Amino acid sequence: MVIVMRAKATEEHLGTVVERVESLGLRAHISRGTDQTIISVIGDERFVDPRTFEAFEGVERVVPVPHRFRLASRDFHPKDRVLELRGGVRLGGNDVVMMAGPCAVESREQLQETAEAVHAAGVKVLRAGVFKPRTSPYSFQGLGEKGLLMLREVADELGMAVITEVLTPEDVPQVAEHAEILQIGTRNMANFRLLRTVGNAGKPVLLKRAWGATLEELLLAAEYVLVEGNEQVALCERGIRTYETSTRFTLDINAVPALKQMSSLPVVVDPSHGTGRAELVAPVARAGVAAGADGLLVEVHPNPSQALSDGAQALTPSAFALLMEEVRRVAGAVGRGVS
């Protein structure tokens, strides 16, 4: 349940309610808004009568939360959550945030060329993998630390923020030192130890939906990060596995408005992995923005046929520049800007 305090409630009122919550063996997570404080009750509350709290001084109302996720829910945090990034970029605000770059850092030249191209097209967040979660152990595994340092250097030269995937809890401190956003990949969405570790990393997290996860499972995974005290979480729809084989995955467009309704966390669409086919990336990106996505994650490579990973879905710099124009028009049509 969620306990909404009156605007005039004092610290003492709040303290009394929290004490009662804790005496029942539950935890109280407090969210202080500008005019109202909300307490989310965490734990097995099945045997607690919400009316217990209605009588407390300072309590305005008690709202039962009909789902298993709490901190990620709109009931707990009605206003859209906004992730503040480098360069004044706000993920979850009015602008659709573009994040683009190669699937993986392959070399300084490849990274530099791609970064300059997406930067010239107006992108402020550079994406690239350095620890690659490959399905086959024989595929290119990424440049690791060397790639991470390259990524930081190139992004700094252009004044861009960095988003990159972190694969293991051991890698979190190093990646957090060099990246503005820690990406949790689809294959790690339910790696709960990793989720708790990024929950303590003090950096924004982009959590990708596992290709076989329901939206509730995705939100429960986000809950692992939030409950550790990290409120800077964004969700990413990157395609789910269906019976369809003509595309790599099936981008679940329903997930965008459904997640926005269930949760106040920003929602990002990844049309690259969602389709696996470069020629489908722009139309699906446009659909994502039209459906209400707060950001797009797009793979770009200067020479897709030579890419060491995901070449089939990589856009050339010129195709990406066209996508940017189209996204600007669609964003404008739904009352949003692009940054």
Give 160-221 as a DSSP string: -EEEEE--SGGGHHHHHHH-SEEEEPGGGTT-HHHHHHHTTS-S-EEEEPPTT--HHHHHHH
Asked if 75 interacts with Mn ion (CB under 5 A), we say no
7 SS3 class: coil
- Under rule CB under 5 A, residue 103 binds Mn ion: yes
Contact between 207 and 184 under an 8 Å Cβ cutoff? The reply is yes
Residue 71 touches which member of ligand PEP, Mn ion, none, C-beta under 5-8 Å by kind: none
* Closest CB to Mn ion among residues 171, 310: 310
Tell me the residue number closest to ligand PEP, measured at CB: 185
Q: Which member of 238, 248, 286, 336 binds ligand PEP (CB under 6 A)?
A: 238
Q: Say how many residues touch ligand PEP, by CB under 6 A.
A: 8
Nearest to 301 by CA among 312, 316, 321, 322: 316
Segment contacting Mn ion by CB under 5 A, of 2-10, 100-108, 235-243, 300-308: 100-108
Q: Which helix (H) or strand (E) holds 154?
A: helix 144-158
Does 310 sit near Mn ion (CB under 5 A)? yes
Q: How far apart are CA 256 and CA 233, in angstroms?
A: 15
> What's the min distance (Å) between Cβ of 34 and ligand PEP?
35
Smallest separation, CB 149 to ligand PEP (Å) = 19
Residue 280 near Mn ion by CB under 5 A: no
Considering only residues 217 to 276 of the shown chain, the ones binding Mn ion according to CB under 5 A are: none
Q: Is 206 in the site for Mn ion (CB under 5 A)?
A: no
Question: 274 is in the binding site of which of Mn ion, ligand PEP, none (Cβ under 5 to 8 A by kind)?
Answer: none
In angstroms, the CA 76 to CA 86 distance is: 27
**How many Å apart are CA 124 and CA 100, to the nearest integer?**
9
- Whether the CB-CB separation of 318 and 302 falls below 8 Å is answered with no
Mask of contacts with ligand PEP, 96-135, x by CB under 6 A?
-------x-------------------------x---x--
Q: Residue 206 interacts with ligand PEP (CB under 6 A)?
A: no
315 forms part of the interface with Mn ion (CB under 5 A): no
Of 77, 208, 260, 286, the residue at the interface with ligand PEP (CB under 6 A) is: 208
Select from 330, 257, 250 the least CA-distant residue to 290: 330
Judged by the rule CB under 5 A, the positions of this chain that interact with Mn ion are: 103, 310
